[in-house]
Amino acid sequence: MVLSFFQNACILIAFMSIGQNFFKEKNIFCNSSLNDKVAFGFFSGILGVILLMNSVQITHDTIIDFRYIPILLSALYVGLIPSVIASIIIGAFRFFFLGVSNSSIIGLICSLFIGVGFGIISLLKSSKRRKYIYSMILLIIVSVISSFIALKNVILIFQTLTMFISGYLIISYFSIKYLDYIIETIKIYQRLKNEATKDYLTGLNNVRQFDDSFNNISQLAIRKEEELSMLLIDIDYFKKVNDNYGHNSGDIILKGLAEILINTCRTYDVISRMGGEEFSIILLDCSDSRAFKIAERLRNTVQNNNFYISDNEAIKITISIGISSYPKLTSQIDNLLENADIALYQAKNIGRNKVVLFNNDKN
């Protein structure tokens, strides 16, 4: 019996490890969406059903297992909704698929009561440790009451409760510790993945992500026979900003410019920091004339914006922009960046604070 209970615990831990791969791309444990909560509830319910199917037989129609631990984890880490969903799935399975009996009815009632109870406890403004203690107290009370209703033999009740309560206290504690480890691993994975694709200062795409995005977008533009434009942007005299006001002020300027780029462009345009004070924008399905209007709007917005480097001090900057567009200005889509760079160089040469379209006839 003890060995079977241990096997049930191993299934729980193994399933948690598998679940790590399903939720590693989501922020399921903080500010999760309704869909994520529902998904986690179903996942926990399925885990509870698997534990139920591998339960320890006490009498002909009485079984024990760790089915309530997935409900507990759902409540402690995600909230009321997944806790209730998991309890409904587990209770319904116990009732409909394992036969209708007094024990199955008791199991259904206990599952629903515990799911709602754990969920309500999760709403308390207390530490996770206190919520866990309250949940264990609730589980013990429900287990004692249900055992006296389902089992008539006092010795069997005592043996069952001893194994059940001690097992739940031990395995639930280690499950929480293990889930904490999984969550920390997911956070590290997501941070490293974000750092691999995002610029640390502005939050925009970095050069690596720009390359990946451009390769995919350019091939899509060719297949759909759409126009594709690129803006290459450089802050004028940025070195003077760093020399006169310091690099912290320079960082403020870069972050402020990134916000302007995001607010001015469409949500599906791809904005990247190419390094230093240089930025790029890939304008999807955008002609050269439309790209020029967007660039001019950007240039004017930046020129008229006050960049506050302290509470009482603001400075102004200007930007130069080079534009290349496929297929009108650039017949080879792979040359968009290079040709936008040529146009940017021309904008710098004619006095800065300019927008220049690439002209192949001049090169």
C-alpha distances out from residue 69 to 18, 75, 253, Å:
16, 10, 50
In the DSSP assignment, the letter for residue 199 is -
More confident residue, 218 or 95: 218
Which residues of the chain form CATH 1.10.1760? Answer: 2-196
- Pick the catalytic residue: 184, 195, 225, 277? 277
**200-236 pLDDT per residue, tens:** 899 999 998 999 999 999 999 999 999 999 999 999 9
Query: DSSP secondary-structure letter at 98?
Result: S
pLDDT on residue 115: 93
Residue 228's pLDDT is: 95
The answer on pLDDT for 276 being more than 80 is yes
- Place 97 in a pLDDT band, splitting at 50, 70 and 90: confident
Query: Does the structure show a pLDDT above 70 at 58?
Result: no
Q: Tell me whether residue 225 is one of the annotated catalytic residues.
A: no
pTM of the model: 0.66
Task: Say which residue, 4 or 184, is predicted with more confidence.
Answer: 184
pLDDT the model gives residue 257: 96
154-158, long-range: CB within 8 Å, 24+ apart, which pairs?
156/58, 156/59
pLDDT of residue 173: 93
Highest mean pLDDT of the ranges 5-19, 142-156, 281-295:
281-295
- Say what the pLDDT of residue 22 is: 77
Q: How many helices (H) and strands (E) does the chain have?
A: 12, 9
Written as one string, the DSSP assignment of 19-74 is HHHHHTTS-TTSS--HHHHHHHHHHHHHHHHHHHHTPEE-SSS-EE-STHHHHHHH
Q: Give residue for tokens 């914006």.
A: 305
How far apart (Å, rounded) are the C-alpha atoms in residues 303 and 316?
A: 7
Identify the pLDDT of residue 29.
65
- DSSP H or E run through 282: strand 278-284
* pLDDT attached to residue 154: 78
The fold of the 207-362 domain, in CATH, is Alpha-Beta Plaits (3.30.70)
Quick one: average pLDDT of 303-329? 93
Which position has the token pair 């904490």?
180
Query: pLDDT by residue (tens digit) across 127-144?
Result: 999 999 999 999 999 988
Segment 262-273 mean pLDDT:
92
Per-residue pLDDT tens for 98-131?
677 777 788 788 889 999 999 999 999 999 999 9
Treating both helix axes as pointing N-terminal to C-terminal, what angle do 68-77 and 128-150 enclose, rounded to 10 degrees?
150
Given this model, what pLDDT does residue 61 score?
55
Domain with CATH 3.30.70.270 in the chain: 207-362
Give the pLDDT band of residue 187 (cuts 50, 70, 90): confident
Nearest to 118 by CA among 104, 135, 102: 135
Q: In angstroms, rounded to a whole number, what is the distance separating the alpha carbons of residues 331 and 52?
A: 64
How far is 48 from 176, CA to CA, in rounded Å? 16
Percentage of the residues of the chain whose pLDDT score is greater than 70: 94
Which fold is adopted by the domain 2-196? Answer: Arp2/3 complex 21 kDa subunit ARPC3 (1.10.1760)
CB-based burial label for 214 (10 Å; 0-12, 13-18, 19+): buried
Residue 153: is its pLDDT beyond 80?
no
